């Protein structure tokens, strides 16, 4: 009996000690501002990366840009003993599909997969965009450097691959450059479909779109804050799920929102100098991004981006008008900030890829009882589970209890009516899965 108690005490100690993983601090430090600067410069120097632009030139247009991105991923792979599977994923989009597709075009994404050692078919994705645009979305010849929108996100994905390819992870990580964003989110649609066709088990996508501007059009300068956009509940949820929510809650607890909370928490833990701002909406007001096609088919996905946009430097012909310089040019990108947001991605990719899968079949009960009850299916690779709860008005999982390697638990004295709850799986080094919001009722 004594032995068992000692064992449990030691076990509790181990879990407490593993609250932070030193590897993640190393990852933050390894992200290079200089490499990001060089890569954004290289991408901007392709003149235009418009989806419909030239594909034959070696120096100008989206063809040259995507070949360069592929060659960078290939180089990274060579440096890690071929640890990346690098390929083009492409779909033909025909003229007239919408007003911005003025000729047939092959929309080509560049994909690099770092295969997980334990869960090879389980993926966490980081995306940036290859393509750029100017004032007229169908103008595929004018100079369109797209330095911040979105060479910054693209460079971030390449740099994350450089840093994380030095490590091995349980789950697979995908670094991807998507095309066709400005023409109607076609690259994301293509890859989401590819993921479905290949039965990829996707934890989520961290879509990076504009991660390098710190000076807002309103004059605010802020190199600490960034936004995490997430939709409230899946767009393709069932009618049954929608109806159940009226009685059991979950209006702000969809899978994308749990991913947003995960990123928020990881950043608060490992990068306390940053100020992550969760925004409770799919994207900016009336505007889109490449996480959406993934959300459309039921995958979790969020948009990570700067907090203060500058509209004189987005989707603009390069010109000077009334003393204002318009255009998304290289000199406006702030690389210390771009480095920080790249690190935000890298530590979350590393943490999720190190964690066991989230528990499924999470049941909750406790109607007219003084305690809340939970049950879940155990997960391969978990050493234990954590029950999270929060006030119904709080955006973050403020309370938690580690309950060990069990598949049911009762939280004594906690009334089910007054909080929202979720369950996460905990891995051997303390890395946690995303929180699963209960999806069934138990007695
Ligand atoms: Zn854009």
The pLDDT profile of the chain, 443 residues, written as one tens digit per residue, is 444 444 444 444 444 445 799 999 999 999 999 999 999 999 999 999 999 999 999 999 999 999 999 999 999 999 999 999 999 999 999 999 999 999 999 999 999 999 999 999 999 999 999 999 999 999 999 999 999 999 999 999 999 999 999 999 999 999 999 999 999 999 999 999 999 999 999 999 999 999 999 999 999 999 999 999 999 999 999 999 999 999 999 999 999 999 999 999 999 999 999 999 999 999 999 999 999 999 999 999 999 999 999 999 999 999 999 999 999 999 999 999 999 999 999 999 999 999 999 999 999 999 999 999 999 999 999 999 999 999 999 999 999 999 999 999 999 999 999 999 999 999 999 999 999 999 999 98
Bridge partner residues of 400 (DSSP):
388
* Ligand 1 mean position, distance from CA 148 (Å): 9
Q: Are residues 311 and 366 in the same domain?
A: no
Q: In this structure, are 81 and 203 located in the same domain?
A: yes
Distance, CA 352 to ligand 1 centroid (Å)?
28
- 37 and 173 within one domain: yes
pLDDT at position 402 = 98
pLDDT for 181 equals 97
Let me know if residue 7 belongs to a domain. Answer: no
Å from CA of 274 to ligand 1 middle: 24
Q: Do 317 and 364 reside in the same domain of the chain?
A: no
Whichever domain contains 26, its CATH number is: 3.40.630.10
Residue 12 falls inside a structural domain = no
Q: Please give the full DSSP string across 336-401, using - where no structure is assigned.
A: HHHHHHHHHHHHHHHHHHHSPPPP-S-EEE-TTSSSEEEE----TT-SEEEEEEEETT-SS--EEE
pLDDT on residue 332: 96
Report the candidate in 301, 424, 401 with the shortest Cα–Cα distance to residue 355. Answer: 424
425 beta partners: 385
Residue that finishes a domain, picked among 354, 370, 395: 354
Q: What is the pLDDT of residue 391?
A: 98
Residue finishing a domain among 354, 373, 394: 354
Give domain status of residue 14, yes or no.
Answer: no
Residues paired with 419 in a beta bridge: 391
CA 205 to ligand 1 centroid distance, Å = 18
User: Could you tell me the distance, in angstroms and rounded to a whole number, from the CA of residue 132 to the centre of ligand 1?
Assistant: 7
Query: Ligand 1 centroid to 316 CA: how many Å?
Result: 10
Q: How many CA atoms lie within 13 A of 194 on its CB side?
A: 16
Cα 197 to ligand 1 centre (Å): 28
pTM of the predicted model, to two decimals? Answer: 0.95
Location of structure tokens 């492409």: 90
Q: What pLDDT is recorded for position 443? A: 87
Q: Are residues 301 and 431 in the same domain?
A: no
348 and 366 share a domain? Answer: no
- Domain-terminating residue out of 325, 354, 383: 354
| In-domain check, residue 10 | no
Write the DSSP symbol of residue 62: H
- Please report whether residue 5 resides in a domain: no
Q: What is the CATH number of the domain that holds 400?
A: 2.60.40.10
Do residues 336 and 399 share a domain?
A: no
**Ligand 1 midpoint to CA 113 (Å):** 25
| 299/427 same-domain check | no
User: Given the DSSP bridges, would you call strands 171-178 and 119-129 parallel, antiparallel or unpaired?
Assistant: parallel
CA 411 vs CA 199, 388, 415, 422: distances in Å:
37, 11, 9, 12
186 with 125, same domain? yes
Q: How far is the CA of 152 from the centre of ligand 1 (A)?
A: 11
Q: Which residues are paired to 384 by β-bridges?
A: 426
Q: Please give the distance, rounded to the nearest whole angstrom, from the Cα atom of residue 108 to the centre of ligand 1.
A: 17
Q: Which of 111, 109, 107, 34 is nearest to 74 (CA)?
A: 111
My answer on whether omega of the bond before 150 falls inside 30° of 0, hence cis, is: yes
Measured at the CA of 61, the angle between CA 150 and CA 177, to 5 degrees, comes to 40
CA 361 to ligand 1 centroid distance, Å: 39
Assigned domain for 86 exists: yes
Ligand 1 centre distance from Cα of residue 158 (Å): 19
Please name the residues in contact with 65: beta carbons below 8 A apart, sequence gap of 6 or more: 43, 46, 49, 130
**249 and 383 fall within a common domain:** no
Residue pair 209/153 in contact (Cβ under 8 Å)? The answer is: yes
Pseudo-torsion of CA 423, 427, 432, 438, nearest 10°?
Answer: -20
Q: Please give the distance, rounded to the nearest whole angstrom, from the Cα atom of residue 54 to the centre of ligand 1.
A: 19
Q: State how many domains the chain has.
A: 2
Query: How close is the Cα of 305 to the center of ligand 1, in Å?
Result: 12
In a domain, 269, yes or no: yes
Q: What are phi and psi of 76, to 5 degrees?
A: -60, -40
104 Cα–ligand 1 center, Å: 21
Q: Ligand 1 (ion): which residues have CB within 5 A?
A: 149
Q: What separation in Å is there between the alpha carbon of 276 and the centre of ligand 1?
A: 22
Query: In terms of domains, do 368 and 348 share one?
Result: no
Shared domain check, 350 and 247: yes
Structural domain of residue 169, as residue ranges? 22-354
CA atoms within 13 A on the CB side of 275: 8
What is the pLDDT, as a whole number, of residue 2? 44
The count of other CB atoms within 10 Å of the CB of residue 70 is 18
> What separation in Å is there between the alpha carbon of 154 and the centre of ligand 1?
13
For residue 89, report the distance from its CA to the centre of ligand 1, in Å. 21
Burial class (CB in 10 A: 0-12, 13-18, 19+), 4: exposed
Q: How far is the CA of 219 from the centre of ligand 1 (A)?
A: 21
Query: How far, in Å, from the CA of 96 to the mean position of ligand 1?
Result: 20
* Ligand 1 centroid distance, CA of 427 (Å): 38
In a domain, 11, yes or no: no
């Amino acid at each position: 009996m004594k032995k068992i108690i000692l064992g449990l005490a030691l076990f509790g100690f181990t879990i407490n000690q593993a609250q932070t993983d030193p590897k993640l601090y190393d990852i933050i430090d390894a992200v290079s501002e200089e490499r990001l600067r060089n890569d954004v410069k290289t991408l901007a120097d392709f003149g235009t990366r418009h989806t419909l632009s030239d594909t034959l030139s070696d120096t100008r247009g989206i063809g040259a840009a995507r070949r360069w991105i592929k060659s960078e991923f290939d180089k990274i792979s060579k440096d890690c003993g071929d640890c990346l599977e690098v390929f083009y994923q492409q779909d033909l989009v025909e003229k007239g599909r919408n007003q911005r597709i003025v000729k047939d075009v092959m929309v080509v994404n560049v994909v690099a997969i770092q295969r997980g050692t334990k869960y090879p078919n389980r993926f966490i994705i980081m995306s940036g965009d290859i393509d750029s645009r100017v004032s007229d979305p169908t103008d595929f010849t004018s100079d369109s450097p797209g330095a911040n929108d979105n060479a910054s996100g693209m460079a971030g994905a390449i740099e994350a691959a450089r840093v994380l390819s030095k490590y091995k992870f349980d789950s697979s990580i995908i670094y991807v450059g998507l095309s066709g964003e400005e023409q109607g989110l076609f690259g994301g649609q293509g890859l989401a479909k590819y993921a479905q066709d290949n039965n990829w088990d996707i934890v989520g996508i961290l879509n990076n779109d504009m991660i390098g501007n710190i000076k807002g059009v309103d004059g605010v300068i802020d190199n600490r804050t960034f936004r995490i956009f997430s939709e409230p509940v899946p767009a393709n949820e069932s009618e049954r799920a929608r109806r159940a929510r009226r009685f059991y809650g979950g209006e702000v607890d969809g899978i994308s929102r749990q991913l947003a909370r995960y990123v928020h928490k990881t950043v608060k833990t490992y990068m306390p100098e940053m100020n992550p701002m969760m925004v409770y909406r799919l994207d900016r007001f009336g505007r889109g991004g490449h996480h959406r096609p993934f959300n459309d088919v039921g995958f979790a996905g969020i948009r990570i981006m700067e907090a203060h946009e500058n509209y004189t430097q987005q989707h603009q012909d390069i010109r000077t008008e009334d003393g204002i310089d318009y255009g998304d040019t290289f000199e406006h990108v702030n690389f210390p900030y771009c480095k920080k947001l790249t690190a935000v991605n890298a530590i979350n990719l590393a943490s999720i890829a190190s964690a066991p899968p989230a528990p499924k079949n999470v049941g909750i009960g406790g109607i007219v009882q003084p305690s809340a009850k939970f049950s879940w299916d155990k997960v391969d690779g978990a050493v234990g589970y954590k029950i999270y709860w929060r006030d119904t008005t709080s955006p973050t999982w403020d309370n938690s209890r580690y309950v060990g390697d069990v598949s049911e638990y009762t939280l004594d004295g906690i009334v089910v009516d007054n909080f929202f709850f979720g369950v996460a799986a905990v891995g051997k080094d303390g890395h946690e899965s995303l929180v699963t919001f209960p999806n069934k009722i138990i007695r």
